Amino acid sequence: MSTKKTLAPHEAFELHELLTFKNVCATKAVTMSKLVKDDELKTLMERDFNSSVEQIKELQSLLQNSDYAVPENTIKKSESEITPIH
Distance CA 73, CA 61 (A): 15
Supply the pLDDT for residue 38. 95
Distance CA 19, CA 25 (A): 10
How many C-beta neighbours within 10 Å does residue 71 have? 7
The closest alpha carbon to 69, from 80, 61, 58, belongs to 61
Mean pLDDT of the region 27-36: 92
Span 51-80, pLDDT tens digits: 999 999 999 988 887 777 766 655 555 555
The closest alpha carbon to 60, from 5, 3, 15, belongs to 15
For residue 7, pLDDT over 70 is answered with yes
pLDDT band at 82 (very low <50, low <70, confident <90, very high): low
44 torsion bin: left (phi>0), alpha (psi -120 to 50), beta (else): alpha
